[in-house]
Amino acid sequence: GAGVSQSPRYKVAKRGQDVALRCDPISGHVSLFWYQQALGQGPEFLTYFQNEAQLDKSGLPSDRFFAERPEGSVSTLKIQRTQQEDSAVYLCASSLIAGGPLDTQYFGPGTRLTVL
Amino acid sequence: KQEVTQIPAALSVPEGENLVLNCSFTDSAIYNLQWFRQDPGKGLTSLLLIQSSQREQTSGRLNASLDKSSGRSTLYIAASQPGDSATYLCAVRGNTGFQKLVFGTGTRLLVSP
């Protein structure tokens, strides 16, 4: 079946613009994660959904970042008033169940955001 | 706060060599540890997952070990091939909270023919 997909794959924004990044998880996956990966760094956790409930948003760097998953499937990460430090690859991951011992996260290809 | 470190940051080897990548973590209260591979412009692919109660996992030419008490894991790659060239990331999942992964900064591997 299809894996996790993300769109757009590349996004260039002028500083101050709002952007929206989309994630389509694997069908039926309960858990959905967003990570931010700066150049040369490992991914860093942003937020976690279990179905439509946002259970952890401790990694969101500021109130300019907002994520939603209204129907428990597709998720959107929105960044308002983008700044240059927001430039990174944004990765989405999904997993089948919540909290199982062998619960592997499957990652999408990411959206590379460049803020000029 | 969990911190994950990977050494070396980059590694270049000729084809056929066996190699070891290292990962260390500061908080031993982990649920599991995973090794991922990341190719340029692509997402992460899970290679091996080791539960906290396990000592090692093997898949083909890959072997990952875990010493939870000392906060260390190694990824052993046997008979390396040019197709193994990628960035390898180690990630740990904690015992508390939800399933978020804490990643290291990765080891960039280049295997030359």
- Would you state the pLDDT for residue B40? 85
Cβ contacts of A35 on chain B, cutoff 8 Å: 101, 103
B97 touches A: beta carbon within 8 Å: yes
Average pLDDT value for residue range A92-113: 85
State pLDDT tens for residues A14-29: 999 999 999 999 999 9
Return the bridge partners of B7, or none.
B22
Residue A20 identity (one-letter amino acid): A
Asked if B101 and A105 touch (Cβ cutoff 8 Å), the reply is: yes
Please identify every stretch of chain B with a pLDDT value under 70, giving residue numbers as ranges: 97
Q: Cα A47 to the chain's mean position, in Å? A: 8
Q: Verify whether the Cβ–Cβ distance B103 to A43 is below 8 Å.
A: yes
Q: B32 and A44 in contact by Cβ < 8 A?
A: no
Confidence bin at A101 (pLDDT 50/70/90)? low
Residue A105: closest C-alpha in chain B:
B46
Rounded distance between C-alpha atoms, residue B67 and residue B1, angstroms: 19
Q: What is the pLDDT of residue B95?
A: 80
pLDDT of the residue at A68: 97
Instruction: Tell me the pLDDT band of A99, cut-offs 50, 70 and 90.
Output: low
DSSP for A63-83 reads TTEEEE-TTSS-EEEEESS--
Secondary structure of residue A99 in the 3-state scheme: coil
Nearest residue to B88 (alpha-carbon basis) of B110, B57, B109: B109
